[in-house]
Amino acid sequence: MPTKTLQIPTPDGQADAFAAFPDGGERHPGVLLYTDAFGVRPELEERARELAGHGYYVLVPNLYYRHGPAPVAELPEHIGEEIRPAVIARLMPLLEEHTTERILRDADAYLEFLTTRPEVGTGPVAVMGYCIGGALAMRTATAHPDKVAAVAGFHPGFLVTDSPDSPHRLVSELTAEVHLGLSANDMPPEALVELHQALDAAGVRYTSETYPGTVHGFTMSDTDAFSASGLKRHWDRLLPLLDRTVAGN
């Protein structure tokens, strides 16, 4: 499986990114994959490789590139509960600096880069994310309805906030089909109801499912939250979504 480390030009510098794609020199549908808060690391690189093995060009940008190449914080091989608070404490200031304006500037650059790769087909792409990456995927899709045909968010966070530009307030701009794979503790029940009401009112094609027996972070095998059954269900939902929406591109 060919992989590359690439540099994406952005208005704020150069974002390093990991890319995985099928061998053979043909064009393939593009997938922009946003990481969880822990960022680009072997776990996400392996996720990109596996998805590429199903016939997709997968681009995984470093969310924190303004602070240096990935990883911007030292990460253990396994992010156990005993060390997780300390890792999050190091990353939280960087997350807080990742404003909506920066998110949207980056999204413009990432999509421009992805859709002009010689290995990527000419049709719309999919955008997906884990944890905070789910919110970034939703913001990217609402800002670029002409380029994004599918959105997937797994154990997503920050989809419903008090902000006037909360992602759930922007879903009327969506043209993409959406899947949300949730754990029971990703968001309060009332927030989930508000999100569903917004999607319904906007007429968005979506599925939203709470995966049984999971907690936040369940797809990540390098954390204590990992659920093998949750990760399998993630693939069982993600691959048909991509097949319906972008596989012919």
Cis peptide preceding 124, ω within 30 of 0:
no
Q: Which amino acid is at 233?
A: R
Q: Which amino acid is at 157?
A: G
Q: Residue 246: name the closest of 112, 119, 114, 121 by CA.
A: 121
Question: Would you tell me how many other CB atoms lie within 10 Å of the CB of residue 169?
Answer: 14
CATH of the domain at 16: 3.40.50.1820
Q: How far apart are CA 222 and CA 226, in angstroms?
A: 7
pLDDT at 1: 81
Domains in the chain, number: 1
Q: Using alpha carbons, list the distances in angstroms from residue 153 to 51, 128, 134.
A: 15, 6, 4
Q: Could you list the residue range(s) of the whole structural domain that residue 52 is in?
A: 3-245
Q: Name the DSSP letter for residue 167.
A: G
Instruction: Mention every residue, 6+ apart, whose C-beta is less than 8 A from residue 158.
Output: 132, 134, 135, 167
pLDDT value at residue 119: 96
Q: Burial level of 54, CB count in 10 A (0-12/13-18/19+)?
A: middle
CA distances from 179 to 15, 49, 138, 159 (A): 27, 21, 11, 13
Query: Is the bond into 188 cis (omega within 30 degrees of 0)?
Result: no
pLDDT tens, position by position, for the chain (249 residues)? 899 999 999 999 999 999 999 998 899 999 999 999 999 999 999 999 999 999 999 999 999 999 999 999 889 999 999 999 999 999 999 999 999 999 999 999 999 999 999 999 999 999 999 999 999 999 999 999 999 999 999 999 999 999 999 999 999 999 999 999 999 999 999 999 999 999 999 999 999 999 999 999 999 999 999 999 999 999 999 999 999 999 988
The torsion of the CA quartet 191, 92, 44, 137, rounded to 10 degrees, works out to 40
In the DSSP assignment, the letter for residue 211 is P
| SS3 category, 6 | strand
With contact defined as beta carbons under 8 Å apart, do 58 and 48 qualify?
Answer: yes
Give me the sign of the Cα torsion angle 128, 229, 242, 182: negative
> Which residues on adjacent β-strands are paired with residue 33?
128
For the chain, count helices (H), then strands (E): 6, 8
Instruction: With residue 148 as reference, give the H or E element that holds it.
Output: strand 148-154
235: tokens are: 């693939």
